[in-house]
Structure 1
Amino acid sequence: MSRIAIELAAPDIDAHRRSSTGVDFVHTFESGQPGPHVLVNAITHGNEICGAIVVDRLLRTGVRPTRGTLTLSFANIEAFSRFDPQRPYATRFVDEDFNRVWNTATLDGQRDSVELRRARALRPFVEAADFLLDIHSMLEPSPPVMICGPLDKGIRFAFDVAIPRDVVSDEGHANGTRMRDFGGFGDPSSPKNALLVECGQHWERSAEVVAWQTTWRFLRHTGVIDGETATREIALEPPPAQRLVRVTEAVVARTPEFRFARAFSGMEVVPQQGDVIAYDGGEAIRAPYDNCVLVMPVPNNVKTGLTAVRLGRIEPR
């Protein structure tokens, strides 16, 4: 795997271990006024440190809700505690992907892992939340994207937050359920709603900026923070117009010989139907339609049996 410069430093979050919730590294603040319960979550994956920087900063600066309830959480503490800049790819998780265990059968089942124990501890807070922002970053360099799920309510929510430019609507992953799809978040009849922001490559300095700006726009839109406070933190420059990319299929590497046809970047548009995207065991994988968007390709980390890239179609709004 190619080496990418690490421009961000993982914060020391030990000061946030103890909390009044009874669960380490999970802090809930009540305003005493009616309003939604909003959850901002960081380090679902242990090496995605931009979210940890943001939640640490929110806690250290004493951000509190003026309406409703605000919960700030650090998720996969065990993986994050093992982050080593010399081995930055090794700490995504300890036993399994924390963001594939969010379904009732798994959480209520008998299986055990570091990630499942932590997910079970966080479950009451996730279930209590009306709105969730789950802060992530990406393995490969890519423009930031907002993952909003397949439902219209998620798409509308992403456009209300208004950044980043690319809004990606997808069905999730075949190998497990994400936090942002759990319970009411994935129910079209529920008012609950959730977003997952991918802020850019894991350790690029710009990922911290995207995470901070997205968080404040999310807090402003949900109404738990007073407008003046949010306005002071949100950049004055208007964001670019957003576009909706709907994922139509995932390309799974079937053989160890899988390789991309060339060096593609995240959110790159393949112009013509039939253009070759990759080769897998001698088979050419081609763009299924014109202007096919490559969502989060992993050219340096292809694993047999897992998704190598998702293909998306730009939809007008």
Structure 2
Amino acid sequence: HVAVTAVVHGNEPCGAIALDWLFKHDVRPQQGKLSLAFINTAAYHAFDASDPNASRWVDEDFNRLWSAQVLEDGKRKLTVELARAREIRPWLDSVDLLLDIHSMQHKTEPLTIAGPLAKGRDLARAVGTPAVAVSDRGHDEGVRMRDYAGFADERSTRNALLVECGQHWELPAADIALDTTLAFLAATGAVPQEFAATHRPLPAPEAMRFYEVSGPVTVETDNFRFASDWRGFEHLPQGSLIGHDGEREIRAPHPTTVLIMPSERLWPGKTAVRLAQPIN
């Protein structure tokens, strides 16, 4: 069972555009089952071009709910996102291979989030695009859908990727979403290689680059500020000042520290930035 998911966040339309293309071309699996899923539809339908960031979610971040502890907590406040997560959970339990399509706040290089395990990096390598793959354990705030259950268990054959296709509303993000989707469907055997090669809108990267995140920088105070207007993929020498969280300095921990997806949502509990280093 291969699945491609879009609009986990309501302000990220590139995945919906990619799935729309697949529906219009009547794409069917050559083996097994293929699901094309629109996830946080309530947030997506709330999109307002005059305030495009407001529809990222309705009540809370859908992509921080994916632990059994959260999903099964009967005392937790029932939000739009939690209700939807519980609704689709039985379906997600049946998915063997997942591609979850996202986009980013800043205009920066597209990347795949492969999770912390070797199997995630192997799947990213098999898909072969985008050129950058990031290995990380996620966020302190909560578990992503990409890391749900067997996807993050090295003993399981289930596997998942999250692709960040560029800035939310730039047109090329839609091409990256479709290109990655077709490459994923071919790599998983859902569609013939020839079909994907014929319709992919972008050339395949000549080589991939892998980065490993040592940990997210989680905001602890109401006074977090970056030392510069970081956009993402800045390469900083060890010791470089990245920002302040209250009085605490945040400095580059690695000989070459790469900033992954610095955020504009700098309130307590959120991830401000991920600190990575190149790996083979």
Q: TM-score range by the shorter chain?
A: over 0.9
Say if 1:107 and 1:256 are closer, same or farther in 2 by CA, change over 3 A.
closer
User: What is aligned with 1:113?
Assistant: 79
User: What is aligned with 1:27?
Assistant: none
The Cα offsets for residues 173-192 of structure 1, whole Å up to 9 and x where unpaired, read as 11211111111111101111
Given residue 77 of structure 1, which amino acid in structure 2 is its aligned partner?
T
Say if 1:212 and 1:172 are closer, same or farther in 2 by CA, change over 3 A.
same
Unaligned runs of 5+ in 1: 1-36
User: In the aligned structure 2, how far is the partner of 1:294 from the partner of 1:277?
Assistant: 9
User: What is aligned with 1:67?
Assistant: 31
The Cα offsets for residues 3-47 of structure 1, whole Å up to 9 and x where unpaired, read as xxxxxxxxxxxxxxxxxxxxxxxxxxxxxxxxxx10000000110
Deviation at 1:269, TM superposition (A): 0.9
Given residue 274 of structure 1, which amino acid in structure 2 is its aligned partner?
G
Percent identity, aligned pairs only, is: 47
Say if 1:86 and 1:130 are closer, same or farther in 2 by CA, change over 3 A.
same
- Using the size of structure 1 for normalisation, the TM-score is 0.84
Bigger shift: residues 195-204 or 276-285? 276-285
Say if 1:74 and 1:185 are closer, same or farther in 2 by CA, change over 3 A.
same
User: What is aligned with 2:50?
Assistant: 86
Deviation at 1:68, TM superposition (A): 1.0
Deviation at 1:234, TM superposition (A): 2.0
Bigger shift: residues 227-236 or 216-225? 227-236
Whether 1:281 and 2:233 are equivalent positions in the alignment is no
User: What is aligned with 1:310?
Assistant: 274
Q: Which residue of 107, 126, 132 maps to 2:98?
A: 132
Deviation at 1:261, TM superposition (A): 1.3
Deviation at 1:61, TM superposition (A): 2.1
Deviation at 1:204, TM superposition (A): 0.9
User: In the aligned structure 2, how far is the partner of 1:47 from the partner of 1:104?
Assistant: 26
Bigger shift: residues 91-100 or 231-240? 231-240
User: What is aligned with 1:149?
Assistant: 115
After TM superposition, the structure 1 = structure 2 runs for residues 131-280 of structure 1, keeping only pairs within 5 Å, are 131-235=97-201, 237-270=203-236, 272-280=237-245
Bigger shift: residues 229-238 or 142-151? 229-238
Deviation at 1:304, TM superposition (A): 3.0
Deviation at 1:254, TM superposition (A): 2.8
User: In the aligned structure 2, how far is the partner of 1:137 from the partner of 1:276?
Assistant: 27
Given residue 246 of structure 2, which amino acid in structure 1 is its aligned partner?
G
User: What is aligned with 2:5?
Assistant: 41
The Cα offsets for residues 117-155 of structure 1, whole Å up to 9 and x where unpaired, read as 111221122111110000011122221110010011001
User: In the aligned structure 2, how far is the partner of 1:282 from the partner of 1:227?
Assistant: 54
Whether the 8 Å CA contact 2:179–2:202 is kept in 1: the answer is no
User: What is aligned with 1:15?
Assistant: none
Say if 1:83 and 1:235 are closer, same or farther in 2 by CA, change over 3 A.
closer
Whether 1:101 and 2:65 are equivalent positions in the alignment is yes
The Cα offsets for residues 271-312 of structure 1, whole Å up to 9 and x where unpaired, read as x211111123243321112210001002x3322332111100
The Cα offsets for residues 207-240 of structure 1, whole Å up to 9 and x where unpaired, read as 1111010000000000011222111112463314
SS of the residue 1:90 aligns to: helix
User: In the aligned structure 1, how far is the partner of 2:223 from the partner of 2:190?
Assistant: 50
Deviation at 1:156, TM superposition (A): 0.6
User: In the aligned structure 1, how far is the partner of 2:216 from the partner of 2:16?
Assistant: 29
User: In the aligned structure 2, how far is the partner of 1:249 from the partner of 1:46?
Assistant: 26
The Cα offsets for residues 49-71 of structure 1, whole Å up to 9 and x where unpaired, read as 10011112211221111111100
SS of the residue 1:91 aligns to: helix
Q: Which residue of 255, 258, 263 maps to 1:293?
A: 258
SS of the residue 1:255 aligns to: coil
User: In the aligned structure 1, how far is the partner of 2:275 from the partner of 2:222?
Assistant: 20
User: In the aligned structure 2, how far is the partner of 1:82 from the partner of 1:132?
Assistant: 26
SS of the residue 2:277 aligns to: strand
User: In the aligned structure 2, how far is the partner of 1:71 from the partner of 1:311?
Assistant: 34
User: In the aligned structure 1, how far is the partner of 2:84 from the partner of 2:242?
Assistant: 38
Bigger radius of gyration, 1 or 2?
Answer: 1
Cα root mean square deviation, aligned: 1.4
**Total equivalences in the alignment:** 278
SS of the residue 2:267 aligns to: coil
